[in-house]
Amino acid sequence: MADLADAIARLAPWFHNLHLPGGVETAPDHFLGDFPRFKWREIAPHLPADLAGARVLDIGCNAGFYSFALAARGADVLGIDVDEHYLAQARWAKAYLGADRVAFRRASIWEVDRLGRFDLVLFMGVLYHLRHPLLALDLLASTAPGLLVFQTLTHGGEGVAADAGADQGFTSRHRLEDPGWPRMAFIETTFAGDPTNWWIPNHAAVAAMLRSAGFTVEARPAHEVYICRCGKPAADPDLEAAHRAAVRLEARTDS
């Protein structure tokens, strides 16, 4: 037990409160509560109980909470993340739990088109960390995931302006100030002390961006969580060039 506590302390800080056998938790004092277990409880009933044979991709897997939960349903899961700190936690937990169906790899959303095709993709808590969020959704849609579980930090209410998708006249710019108009707050420096936060959309913008990238929202099992089917990806002749540029810029932002 002392060895286990040492290992958890050595790998801290934890963003995922993993529940380990014997009642040990990795982040029992998490500022969000029992995170992300309380969120998983809301999402889990909306996903197939039997995922045997399914290929799952967990983008921004962090310490692997969702990867382990989906592997427990029989899926073969690939968890990717850009942060070695979290990957070390995920790999340690995989070994500790004996979670053979899960693999973890250092990779970015910008490499998603090189990872193969997946029946289920989790893209949770990552969008607002990206300088080029819509491009990420377009790229993800181009890989035609079967089902997408999407989550992002948002601001504002749940309203969507009735005319949000319609053309507006040049002199109707006041419509953009409607609380239900799709909008994203741009974070130039830091938000919550974190310089990797770039954009915080409202619900109307999330819905519009998902639609624009070719996704159809099928369910909203929890606040800020969207379960989507992938339809026809947006036809974007610039996607490839924009993708290459984003990869270059991302590398510069990381360094």
Task: Kindly tell me the sign of the dihedral angle through the C-alpha atoms of 220, 226, 229, 232.
Answer: positive
Residue 183 beta carbon to ligand SAM: minimum distance, rounded to whole angstroms:
21
Q: Which residue is it, tokens 């909203």?
A: 220
* Strand extents, DSSP E, the chain: 19-20, 24-25, 55-59, 76-81, 102-106, 120-124, 147-151, 184-186, 199-201, 215-222, 225-230
For residues 193 and 172, is the Cβ–Cβ distance under 8 A?
no
* Strand extents, DSSP E, 45-115: 55-59, 76-81, 102-106
Q: State which amino acid sits at residue 220.
A: R
Report CA Rg, the chain: 19
Residue 62 beta carbon to ligand SAM: minimum distance, rounded to whole angstroms:
4
Q: Mask: binding to ligand SAM, 111-150, rule CB under 6 A, as x and -?
A: -------------xxx--xx--------------------
Query: According to CB under 6 A, which residues from 223 to 242 bind ligand SAM?
Result: none
| 79 forms part of the interface with ligand SAM (CB under 6 A) | no
| 82 forms part of the interface with ligand SAM (CB under 6 A) | yes
Which of the stretches 74-82, 159-167, 211-219, 226-234 binds ligand SAM when contact is defined by CB under 6 A? 74-82
Q: How many residues bind ligand SAM, per CB under 6 A?
A: 18
| Cβ-based neighbours of 223, under 8 Å, separated by 6 or more | none
What are residue 123's DSSP bridge partners? 59, 150
**Which of 70/160 has CB closer to ligand SAM?**
70
| 62 forms part of the interface with ligand SAM (CB under 6 A) | yes
For residues 62 and 69, is the Cβ–Cβ distance under 8 A?
no
**Which of 195/231 has CB closer to ligand SAM?**
195
The residue within the footprint of ligand SAM, chosen from 60, 182, 201, 233 (CB under 6 A), is 60
Q: Mask: binding to ligand SAM, 2-41, rule CB under 6 A, as x and -?
A: -------------x--------------------x-----
For residues 160 and 203, is the Cβ–Cβ distance under 8 A?
yes
Residue 2 beta carbon to ligand SAM: minimum distance, rounded to whole angstroms:
28
| 83 forms part of the interface with ligand SAM (CB under 6 A) | yes
**Which of 27/59 has CB closer to ligand SAM?**
59
For residues 157 and 206, is the Cβ–Cβ distance under 8 A?
no
Residue numbers of the site for ligand SAM (CB under 6 A)? Answer: 15, 36, 59-60, 62, 80-83, 86, 108-109, 124-126, 129-130, 151
